[in-house]
A = this chain, B = another copy of it.
Amino acid sequence: MEEKIELLKSILKELHRGASVDELKERFREVLSKVSPIEIPFIEQQLIREGVRVEDILKLCDLHVALFREALESRELSGVSEGHPVDLLVRENEWLMKQAEILGLYASQLMNTDDLGQALNILKTMTRITGELRKVKIHYRKVQMLIFPYLEKRGVSAIPRVLWGREDQVIVKLRKFYEKAVKAIENRTLELAREAGKIAMEISKEIGELIFRENKILYPTVYALFDESEWATIYYESNKIGWLIDTSSFKWKPSVEPKYPYMIKPIVTPEQLAKLPVEVKNILEKSGITPDTYEIKKENDIVLETGFIDKEELEGLLRALPVEITFANKDHRVRMFSESMFHKGFLRTKTIIGRKLEYCHPPRLEPLVKKVAREILSGEKPYRVFWTKVGDRTIRVLIAPVKNRDGEIIGVVELVEDMTDIINNVEEIKKSIMVL
């Protein structure tokens, strides 16, 4: 270890001299081969303890990321195209690695000072960094929501569950760190600052470990298993979720139609198995693979953009909503309505199907009803909200446009919801809020 620390110190000196990361990589290739990328954060923290300034060590981060990228390039992911979801996820990890490393460095510095003022200043810097690091959620969400379902479908559920557990821990710790840091800054306590620092150290370490697991195990696995139609889904859906990095310069586009997990034949071929990282291969060979063959789509299903529902389920779903619906088309004619199991709003009966909207109200309200329907159907107003009473219940009446996928307005809907229990219990509700 001593030797490795000395090595990094010499690299630092070179960086100080003004050498570029690329130049250093070349010159220290042999030297660096003795240092695993995963060791660098620990060595950096050692340097902090020895009194090297954080600002100097930060320069090492770029080198670290560069090394990391090289380490990956040489292995299973060597064939990944620029802009492919795996490529973009790896690039996100580089960004994350750097943020996590910086956080860890400041945390080390914090743990090494006895000066309250300095500690609090460092802590403030750290809250800015964790503010950035919270975006890690956007990275994890793509992994959890887009990649894991395809693994689960193939019967690989342990890896997703373990990873999600660790990712979740990072998110929870980020929250804890922030609470602790705010308290430390408010109360000006070194103890609290150090507790926050300790959590930050853990966050830094755990993000780093997750990056390693993703780059070394998860991505090689899914890259070997998923076909392009699956990557197509992951690509399009990822773009909706967003990226931590600027992806505008990457040209990769899937050349096939997306397939969702429920569409795929969840088979792992021997060729695929052979390509898997050895850790995964061992697990799968030992425990066997039982693919998830559940068929979610049934005959007579109504096929929606976002899933399937049959008529019985649809009617049950409408009844289960806390909202009562009355839907009219562009001709101001009632097409359908629904009743809620949760409350009775305005009386509607089956005799209003086909009825003119304005005839469903007393003449006194006819001008208002016509005006609002026109405002919504013409797009003049995005929606309207009214509050009224039905008996002693406080009712929200929301009038909204119904649009087709092209955004064209094809109808207007009245959405009636009983808000009495919210209006009357705001303080209790605030107290009952759980952070999930």
Say yes or no: is A323 at the interface (Cβ < 8 Å to chain B): yes
A5 contacts B by Cβ under 8 Å = no
Q: Across the interface, which residues of B come within 8 angstroms of A426, CB to CB?
A: 423, 426
Contacting B at CB under 8 A, from A325-376, are 325, 327, 329, 331, 333-339, 341-342, 347-356, 359, 362-365
- Would A306 and B338 be within 8 Å (CB), given that A157-B359, A387-B429 are in contact? yes
Main secondary structure of the interface of A (DSSP, over half): mixed
Q: Please name all residues of chain B whose beta carbon is closer than 8 Å to the beta carbon of A303 when the two chains form the complex.
A: 311
Give complex CA distance A280, B436 in Å. Answer: 65
Say whether B353 contacts A240, CB under 8 Å: no
CB <8 Å contact, A296 and B146: no
- Does A101 sit at the interface, judged by CB under 8 A? no
Q: Mark A414-436, 1 if CB is under 8 A from B, else 0.
A: 01010100110010011011111
A320 to B376, CA, bound (A): 12
What are the interface flags for A92-133 relative to B under an 8 Å C-beta threshold, 1 for contact and 0 otherwise?
000000000000000000000000000000000000000000
With A320-B415, A331-B294 known as contacts, the answer to whether A302 contacts B307 (CB < 8 A) is no
Query: Is A380's beta carbon under 8 Å from chain B?
Result: no
* A349 CA to B419 CA, complexed, in Å: 29
Interface stretch, picked from A59-67, A76-84, A213-221, A398-406, is A398-406
B337 and A327 form a contact (CB under 8 A)? no
Looking at the assembled complex, report how far the CB atom of A284 sits from the nearest CB atom of chain B, in whole angstroms.
Answer: 18
Tell me which of A27-35, A42-50, A158-166, A203-211 binds B. Answer: A158-166
A37 → chain B closest CB, angstroms: 28
Nearest CB of B to A333, in Å: 6
Beta-carbon contact of B362 and A141 below 8 Å: no
Q: Are A308 and B336 in contact (CB under 8 A)?
A: yes
A386 CA to B432 CA, complexed, in Å:
8
13 interchain pairs (CB within 8 A)?
A: A145-B351, A148-B359, A237-B351, A262-B353, A304-B315, A307-B334, A309-B327, A313-B402, A317-B411, A321-B323, A322-B323, A387-B432, A394-B430
